[in-house]
A and B are shown apart, each in its own frame.
Chain A
Amino acid sequence: MRDLVVDVRGVHYGVGSRRIFDGVDIAVERGSVTAVMGPSGTGKTTLLRLVTGQVAPGAGTVRVFGEDIAGYGRRQLFALRRRMGMLFQNGALLTDLDVFENVAFPVRQHSRLPEPLLRRLVLMKLQAVGLRGAERLMPQELSGGMARRVALARAIVMDPEVLIYDEPFVGLDPISMGVVCRLIRQLNDALGITSILVSHDVQEVATIADRSYLLADGKVVASGSSPELHASTDPAVRQFMDGAADGPVPFHYPAGDYREQLLDVGDLR
């Protein structure tokens, strides 16, 4: 029996008339790094919101830590979220606090740890992401990569069981990308946690993910380990993995006949 931290089964979800998920199955094993990939706009962030209980599926179940979270009230959701850490695309650091206070924030809110203990805890987490010396800087003074690392320190400060990363590589230079990549894998193994990664950076994901899911058109079109996906012959998977401009996801936005529009002399008179 696999120990599934997150188990998404047959989930359908739509906003208004838009169908975002049309029967999605995703299973995240404990201790693994699982990636969810796909072209832009396939609702990867929405998936994360389903897992954290911010939205509820139209149909299907979302089980986290073995329980269906559909019926969770506010208190249960809060308890659930305390076992999870989340890293947002832009860090989402609180702008009126410095680095130290940002990382200390969850601890202060949820416990009455004595100040000396709190200080050491925060410094340890900052050390883990390599930013112990930056504790007094303000978020506005940090580069994108540094901000994300601080946010990561904040996400792990309460020792969560699951870490969720929303597009952690977006907008980073190659060095920072390498740093974040290494951190994700190292933290996952060192802290014994489970990581869920939403990204469209195929190369980076390939180096660290144990298992990847590829979403397109609201469905899972492929899943498996990185080598398996790279060897796939499915056109949709191939286009994504190779980064081809045209394929199942077309280059041209739907339009009328090209020849007709050019040759129509109606506007020349």
Chain B
Amino acid sequence: MTSLAGSLSRIGSVSVFLLRTLAACGPALRRPRLIVHQIYNCGARSLVIIMLCGLFVGMVLGLQGYDLLARFGSESALGVAATLGLLKELGPVVTALLFAGRAGTALTSEIGLMRATDQLTAMQIMAVDPMRHVVAPRFIGGIIAMPLLVAVFDVVGIYGSQLVGVTLMGVDQGTFWSQMQNAVDLRDVNEGIVKSLAFGLLCSLLAVYEGYNTVPTAEGVGLATTRTVVASSVMTLVVDYMLTAAFIKL
């Protein structure tokens, strides 16, 4: 099957690219200015959308959670349910999907455009390694930005669920927080952090890979950005399952 062979070759290609990128990370770290620029690119510029979505996801959790728990008379567990849901699953996953949509496409189109206008080739001719100068800083920037974005998403989400649960639905604030604090473990927070790092690595890698290997035409860049979003989304959900299973076993 050609699609199977195609997928396999793509996986191999991405893996090789990952190794090359990692090798370029060492020298790239010696130019922190580039990395700072990329943290801004991926992180700070995604902040508004992350906070907005975090708020609404938290509020929906508050609504749905209350509705569900009220059937069992366990409304007081709303704090627990919302917080754990955010920390372990919704925070990392939704943030990763939003990241892929906003920051991932930006990365891909930037690099893709550089490829299409010969800037990457020009760099090679000037004996500058585009991996070190262009790819690695964006990769590192994405990995750093992700956990921070997830943390902000979680905090805003918890606030949102509290907003709905306490202010709207009348769950007692003291109960909300005390129940949550007693049920939430450092392990749960760690699970969220590990996932955010993993998704950050994955989405950043796919974004820079697609950008670097763009067909150097206008349509090529468009196709590459589409592939970034699709691949990032699918792989995020797949890896999410694997990590969740791993954490449950531990």
Contact = CB atoms under 8 A, between A and B. Distances in A.
A88 B128 contact: no
Contacts, number: 47
Contact of A81 (B117, B119, B127): B127
Contact of A106 (B117, B118, B128): B128
Contacts of B167: none
Interface residues of A, number: 23
A40 interface: no
Interface in B91-139: 113-114, 117-119, 121-128, 133
B126 A105 contact: yes
Nearest to B134: A94
A17 interface: no
A88 B126 contact: no
Contact of A90 (B114, B117, B126): B117
Given A88-B118, A89-B118, A92-B117, A52 B128 contact: no
Residue of A79, A90, A158 most packed against chain B (CB within 10 A): A90
B122 A88 contact: yes
A18 interface: no
A78 B118 contact: no
A184 interface: no
Residue of B118, B123, B126, B128 most packed against chain A (CB within 10 A): B126
B122 A86 contact: yes
Contact of B127 (A78, A90, A92, A154): A78
A109 B128 contact: yes
Contacts of A78: 127
Contacts of A154: 126
B118 A81 contact: no
A90 B117 CA distance: 7
A110 B123 CA distance: 12
A82 B123 CA distance: 11
Contacts of B122: 86, 88, 92, 94, 151
Contacts of B125: 52, 81, 84-86
B118 to A, nearest CB: 4
Interface string A70-88: 0000000011011011101
Residue of B117, B121, B127 most packed against chain A (CB within 10 A): B127
Interface in B43-101: none
Contacts of A109: 126-128, 133
A78 B128 CA distance: 8
Nearest to A93: B119
A92 B121 contact: yes
Contacts of B127: 78-79, 81-82, 106, 109-110
Contact of B119 (A79, A84, A85, A92): A92
A81 B128 CA distance: 10
A233 interface: no
A223 B137 CA distance: 47
A52 B124 CA distance: 10
A90 B124 contact: no
Given A88-B118, A89-B118, A92-B119, A106 B126 contact: yes
A90 B128 contact: no
Contact of A92 (B118, B128, B133): B118
A95 interface: yes
A151 to B, nearest CB: 8
A261 interface: no
Contacts of A81: 124-127
Contacts of B121: 54, 88, 92
A211 to B, nearest CB: 24
A250 B128 CA distance: 43
Interface string A143-169: 000000001001000100000000000
Given A78-B127, A81-B127, A94 B119 contact: yes
Contacts of B118: 88-90, 92
B89 to A, nearest CB: 37
11 contacts: A54-B124, A79-B127, A82-B127, A84-B125, A88-B121, A89-B118, A92-B121, A95-B114, A95-B117, A109-B128, A154-B126
Interface of B: 113-114, 117-119, 121-128, 133
Given A84-B125, A90-B118, 12 more contacts: A78-B127, A79-B127, A92-B117, A92-B122, A93-B119, A94-B123, A95-B113, A105-B126, A106-B126, A106-B127, A106-B128, A109-B133
